A and B are shown apart, each in its own frame.
Chain A
Amino acid sequence: MTAVELPEGLRDNPYLDRWAGFEMSGRVRVATGKVELGQGVLTAVLQMAADELDVSPERIDLQSGDTDTTPDEGLTAGSQSIEYGGKALRMACAEIRLLFLEQAAALLGCAVDMLSVNDGVILYRGEATAHSYWTLVPAIDLAVAATGRAPVKPRDRRRLIGRSVRRVDLAGKVFGQPVFIHDLTLDGMRHARILRQPRPGTTIASIDEARIRRLAKGGAVEIVRHGNFVAVIGDDETTVERVAGSAGELVTWGNLEPVAEFQQEARWLLQRPTLEKKIGAAGSAVAAPGRRRVEATYSRAYIAHASMAPSCGLAHYRDGHLTVWSHSQGVFMLRNVIARLLKLDPAMVTVRHVQGPGCYGHNGADDAAADAAVVAFLMPGTPIRVRWRRDEEFAFEPVSPAMVSTMRAVLDEHGRPVDWTAEIWSGTHSRRPGKAGTLLAAEAFPDPPPPISAERMMEAAMGGVTRNATPLYDIPAKRVDLHLIPETPVRTSSLRGLGSVSNIFAIECFIDELAGQAGADPVAYRLSLLSDVRARRVIERAAAMSGWNADAEAGAGLGRGIAFCRYKNTAAYAAVVAEVEVAEEVRLTRVWCAVDGGLIVNPDGALNQLEGGIVQATSWALKEQVRFGGLGISSRDWQSYPILRFDEVPEVFVELVEPDTDNPPLGVGEAAGAPTVAAIGNAVSHALGTRIRDLPLTRERVMALLLADEA
Chain B
Amino acid sequence: MAAIAFAVNGRAVAVTADEETPLLDVLRNHLDLKGARFGCGLEQCGCCMVLIDGKAELSCAKPIWAVAGKSVVTVEGLGTPAQPHPLQQAFIEEQAGQCGYCLSGILVAAKALLDRNPDPSRADIVQALDRNLCRCGTHIRIIRAIARAAVLMRETS
Contacts and interface: CB of A to CB of B under 8 A. Distances in A.
Interface of A: 37-40, 166-167, 169-180, 182-183, 185, 218, 236-238, 241, 306-310, 355-360, 387, 389-390, 604-605, 608-609, 611-616, 618-619, 637-639, 643-647, 649, 651-652
B137 A612 contact: yes
Contacts of B140: 611, 615, 649, 651-652
A505 B129 CA distance: 31
B139 A175 contact: no
Contact of A646 (B34, B98, B129): B129
Nearest to A359: B99
A612 B40 CA distance: 22
Interface string B64-86: 00000000001110111100100
Nearest to A653: B140
A178 B74 CA distance: 13
A170 B141 contact: no
B112 to A, nearest CB: 15
Nearest to B64: A238
B104 interface: yes
B39 interface: yes
Interface of B: 1, 17-18, 21-22, 25, 28-29, 32-42, 44-45, 47, 74-76, 78-81, 84, 88, 91-92, 95, 97-104, 107, 125-127, 129-130, 132-143
A472 to B, nearest CB: 25
9 contacts: A167-B97, A175-B84, A180-B101, A308-B45, A308-B133, A309-B37, A309-B39, A358-B98, A612-B138
A546 B25 CA distance: 48
A109 B92 CA distance: 48
Given A176-B34, A238-B25, A612-B136, A170 B100 contact: yes
B97 A180 contact: no
A358 B38 contact: no
Nearest to A672: B137
Given A175-B79, A175-B80, A358-B135, A218 B98 contact: no
B47 A308 contact: yes
Task: Name the prevailing secondary structure of the B interface residues.
Answer: loop
B95 A167 contact: yes
A8 B140 CA distance: 37
A389 B139 contact: no
Contacts of A643: 133, 135
A357 B80 contact: no
A389 B41 contact: yes
B141 A176 contact: no
B101 A166 contact: no
Contacts of B44: 637-639
Contacts of A649: 126, 139-140, 143
Contacts of A387: 38
A170 B95 contact: yes
B42 A390 contact: yes
Contact of B18 (A38, A185, A238, A390): A238
Contacts of B91: 170, 174
Contacts of B129: 646
Nearest to B87: A174
B16 to A, nearest CB: 12
Contacts of B139: 615, 644, 646, 649
Contacts of A178: 34
A613 B9 CA distance: 36
A612 B135 CA distance: 8
Nearest to B99: A38
Contacts of A185: 32
B107 A616 contact: no
List the 7 shortest-distance A-B pairs measured between CB atoms, nearest first. A176-B35, A38-B99, A615-B137, A173-B100, A358-B99, A612-B137, A176-B75
B34 A38 contact: no
A586 to B, nearest CB: 17
Contact of A241 (B39, B41, B75): B41
A390 B88 CA distance: 28
A652 B139 CA distance: 10
A332 B80 CA distance: 36
* Residue among B18, B137, B140, B143 having the largest count of chain A Cβ atoms under 10 Å: B137
Given A38-B136, A358-B136, A652-B140, A174 B98 contact: no
Contact of B35 (A177, A645, A652): A177
Nearest to A167: B95
A646 B136 contact: no
Contact of A608 (B38, B74, B95): B95
* Residue among B22, B29, B81, B98 having the largest count of chain A Cβ atoms under 10 Å: B98
B94 to A, nearest CB: 10
B42 A637 contact: yes
Given A218-B1, A615-B139, A170 B39 contact: no
B39 A390 contact: yes
A236 B129 CA distance: 32
Contacts of B107: 174, 176
Nearest to A238: B25
